[in-house]
Amino acid sequence: MTQLHPSENPFVHVGLTAKGGARECGAGRTAGSIYVECGLSLTGVPLEQYLHDPPIPVEPAQLGLSSQGVTIIEDDKGVRHIVDMVGASHYPYPSDFIEEARLMGVSRKVPKTTDLRGITSASMLILVHARASVVNAAAVSAASDMICPNARHKPGEDCAGLHWVVAEENDGPGRRRLNCGTYELTPRAPGAPTPVLQHAFFMAVPITAMTVIANHDGSVDEAAQKSAGRAGVPVSVAHN
Ligand SMILES: [Zn+2]
C-alpha cells in the first residue's frame, strides 16, 4: 500500500515538525489536541514522490473511514499506518492539500482517544480525498496538457498529474488561491469532458513527529501528551 519507506528517503528526518499557523482547515491548531506530522526540510522535499501515482480508488466505508477522524490499519508486514480523510469542505481538491504541504509540511489532528501504540518512524500517514481519482481519467487526461509529476504517464493515462487538471480556478485564469499562497493549474482543452471524481488514496507521507498544542496558559494537556507518547516517534509541544 505504501510507496516509499522512510529509510529510502534521505530528505525525511525523524523528529522534524510541520509549521503551525493558518491552514485551509482553520486559522490555527487547537489547544490540547494532538497532531500527527510530516515535517519537510526547509531546503524542500520533492513532494511528488509521496503521491500515489496514479491515485488508488478506495471505498471509505470499507475502511471504516468517517469524514472526520482517522483509522489505523496494519499492512502485511505488521506495520501500522494512520489513514486520514482530507475533507473537501476545507480542501476542495487534493492539489490544495498537496500545495499547502509543499510549503508547510503535513499536520493532521488525531483524536486523543486514538490508540497510537505501534505507530513508529516506519509508519505512514495515508491520505484519502473524495475527489482524488478520475473515473473517466483517460478522456479527461487526453483533453489536457497533463504533466506526470513522476515522468511516468502521458496525456490519455490516469495519473496524479490530473489533480491539477480537475481543480477549478478561483484566482484568475489557471490559478487557485490558498491561505498560504496561490498555485498554477494545468490547462484543460476546450470541450474537455467533465471529470467524474471518486474517493482515493492520493498521498502517503512518513510520520516524523507527534505534536501536542499547548493550552493558552502554556500548560500541556496530560491526556493528550500521554496518548501522543504511546507512539514511537518524537513528541513535541507547540504553541500554535
Ligand atoms: Zn503520473
Q: How far is the CA of 9 from the centre of ligand 1 (A)?
A: 20
Q: How far is the CA of 72 from the centre of ligand 1 (A)?
A: 27
Q: How far is the CA of 79 from the centre of ligand 1 (A)?
A: 27
Q: Which residue has the cell 510520520?
A: 207
pLDDT of residue 45: 63
Strand ranges (DSSP E) for the chain? 34-38, 51-57, 70-74, 80-86, 106-110, 124-134, 175-178, 181-184, 197-206, 209-213, 235-238
- pLDDT tens for 25-69 read 777 788 999 999 988 654 456 788 899 999 999 998 888 877 667
For residue 191, the tally of other CB atoms under 10 A from its CB is 6
pLDDT of residue 65: 79
Q: How far is the CA of 211 from the centre of ligand 1 (A)?
A: 32
pLDDT of residue 124: 95
5, pLDDT greater than 50: no
Q: Are residues 101 and 47 in contact, defined by beta-carbon separation less than 8 angstroms?
A: yes
SS3 127: strand
For residue 175, the tally of other CB atoms under 10 A from its CB is 12
In this structure, is the dihedral angle defined by the CA atoms of residues 77, 79, 85 and 90, taken in order, positive or negative?
negative
pLDDT of residue 6: 40
pLDDT of residue 2: 36
78, pLDDT greater than 70: yes
Beta partners for residue 86, in sequence order: 129
pLDDT of residue 8: 43
- Rounded to an integer, the average pLDDT of 151-176 is 96
Q: How far is the CA of 229 from the centre of ligand 1 (A)?
A: 37
| Least trusted range by pLDDT, from 38-42, 119-123, 174-178 | 38-42
Q: How far is the CA of 202 from the centre of ligand 1 (A)?
A: 12
SS3 67: coil
- pLDDT tens for 182-239 read 999 999 999 999 999 999 999 999 999 999 999 999 999 999 999 999 999 999 999 8
Q: How far is the CA of 3 from the centre of ligand 1 (A)?
A: 13
SS3 61: helix
For residue 147, the tally of other CB atoms under 10 A from its CB is 14
pLDDT of residue 67: 67
pLDDT of residue 15: 64
Q: Round to whole Å and give the CA distance between 166 and 128.
A: 16
